[in-house]
Structure 1
Amino acid sequence: MTAPRRTQAERKGATIAKLVDATIEAIEEVGYHRASIGEICTRAGVSKGGLFRHFDSRLDVVVAAAQEVGRRHMANFRDLTTTEDRLPPIDLVRYARAAIRHETNVVWFELLVAARTEPELRERLHPVARALIDDVEQAAIDALDPDVPPDLTRLVATSLIHMFDGESIFRNTYPRPDLEEERLENAARLVEMLSRQAVT
């Protein structure tokens, strides 16, 4: 029995997904500047004409890749925090660090560094980065005790992200596993302390 023929919309969606996945993979493996249209198309098995039927430029597919990386991270975090019981702070903090260290997150690091000197990329990434940080902050508010002031939760969440970002970048060049574990435990204590203060 033959499989039902896919609709045009389904074929379009599948091609776009292949191109976005290939862009993520290319940036992750060879870096932003070497993730050319040719590199992306080869990895996706799609012609350059096929790419330009769905995206106006390389920048458009790169921004779509950035959005997809953020979507994947937030979907995983939402799955983690939608359990009936609140997770212990150490589990939340450990997950946040693991997500930041995940190889897919390298895409964000590559793009953020490139955006420093490329105004158009910076302008296009601004709303994507803002939406991701807003989602992270809201997820932290949802995960912690509701009595913790939201502004304080936002401050702690973004501070932890920036700390783990820096740790993730440095750990390949100057690994300090003992200090990293101590940092993780103290970050969890901070989150736990916030929750305890909210209850008292």
Structure 2
Amino acid sequence: MEFLLPLTSLIVLEIILGIDNIIFISILADKLPENQQNKLRYWGIGLAMIMRLALLSLLSWILKLDETLFTIFDTNFSGKSIILIAGGLFLLYKSTKEIYHKSELAEEQPLHTSKKPSFRKLLMEIIILDLVFSIDSIITAVGMVNELWIMYTAVIVTVGIMIFASKPISNFISKHPSFKILALCFLMMIGVSLIAEGFRFEIPKGYIYFSMAFAFFVDVVQIKTVPK
């Protein structure tokens, strides 16, 4: 029974890291017609699982990503650093663009004349972020446990929880526009965190999640207290 503690710890960590993924997928799914939203969510989360399991089978290659490739101004850069910086920039770009569409562009184009994104385009964007989060997740998992089967089990259990939680989270974000903006700001913070980590400047994830949890609490209180 000694495996229970590392397995539970890894599942909890994977769920925390997976929240970013679910929020990103939920926001993109909201752009599609209702009959395609579940399909995009399941495809996105399913591909995340496949990607993580595939990367676990290439564990020796993944570990090499953490080796220094070059140094600039006394800062060491590895394959992981480059991927995190690229993923962080992509997340910042997408979050900023979505916030602009939800605020400024909504006033400029009230009739929503802009072209709707295709299912394939949104799925490709999800795959890009899946890759970034998967590599970060696998390297973190390797630092916690040694048994490969525990990593496989944690990934499968976590993906099952993500699939179960994705629709309620997506529906909640869709029904409350203020929470959608809050979620996008959360993704911007994660993007900054990824870039900082790529430059070897670690921002404790606890600070980010606590600040967002507090902002979420304030938003809930505001909704409950404002007269309808």
| Relative contact order, higher structure (CA 8 A, sep 6+) | 2
Band the TM-score falls in, shorter-chain normalisation = 0.3 to 0.5
TM-score w.r.t. length of structure 2:
0.30
TM-score w.r.t. length of structure 1:
0.33
